[in-house]
Amino acid sequence: MNSKFLRVLAFATFVVPGLALAQASPAASDPLPSAPGTTAVTAANGTKVGTISVEQAIFASNEGQRDFEALSKKLEPKQTELKGQNDEIESLKKQLSTQGDKLNDDARATLVKQIEEKQKKLDRAVQDARDDAQAQQNEIAQRILQKMAPIIVKFAGDNGFGLIIDTSNPWPNGPVLWAGQAVDITKPVVDTYNLQSGIPAPTHTGSSTGAKPAATTHAATPAASKPQPK
């Protein structure tokens, strides 16, 4: 996935807490989670405990890479628009800083008011853009998770797992203090999901199955960094 996009539209806003998927027999009808954090529980006959990073699996799937990249491109015009507004404010602030003592009181007050009004407008626009981007990325992630859940359950059942724990959030925010790679099923689940979906890997990413996003933040803002008051 585009690393620039990951810096501004982070999956950290989409949290899938503690998804525990118990083993199901091949004949069982596996329930689909309707929302992040939903637990799919069926007859647990296995004894092994495994882990999966649901966040990583969604991002690493061919469908996830394709759809989040498309969303990134869709949000680029808004990024450009907000960056332009931010640059305009920074220019006015620079003008106030360098020329403020040369302006009369009325001119200086007008310039200060202009900056404040533009800043408030930008803040509202950034928040609206953040909310819209977050809603769209959540829709993508939830849609993929709904289709991936039965694959996780089946893989657990076929391989003797009695419990699969989500490791998307590292300790202490997540439930797992430490787990070895031997019990992690993220890559085989992603491989199976890609095979069933029939969606080819994006050509620019190469073979990145199971690779975690390069960077995450806590703000899903399709814009330049928010201007800081001086």
Model confidence, pTM: 0.68
Give domain status of residue 220, yes or no: no
Give domain status of residue 44, yes or no: yes
- Read off the pLDDT band of 11 (50, 70, 90): very low
Nearest residue to 195 (alpha-carbon basis) of 209, 211, 213, 206: 209
- Read off the pLDDT band of 44 (50, 70, 90): low
Total domain count for the chain? Answer: 1
Range of the domain at 150: 3-197
Residue 168 has pLDDT above 80, yes or no: yes
Give domain status of residue 90, yes or no: yes
Give domain status of residue 119, yes or no: yes
Give domain status of residue 216, yes or no: no
pLDDT in the model for residue 45:
75
Q: What rounded mean pLDDT belongs to the chain?
A: 77
Mean predicted confidence (pLDDT) in 140-166: 96
Give domain status of residue 112, yes or no: yes
Residue 180 neighbours by CB distance under 10 Å: 7
Mean predicted confidence (pLDDT) in 137-150: 97
Distance, C-alpha 17 to centroid of its chain: 14
Give domain status of residue 145, yes or no: yes
Residue 33 has pLDDT above 90, yes or no: no
Mean predicted confidence (pLDDT) in 1-10: 36
The Cα–Cα gap between 145 and 190 comes to 11
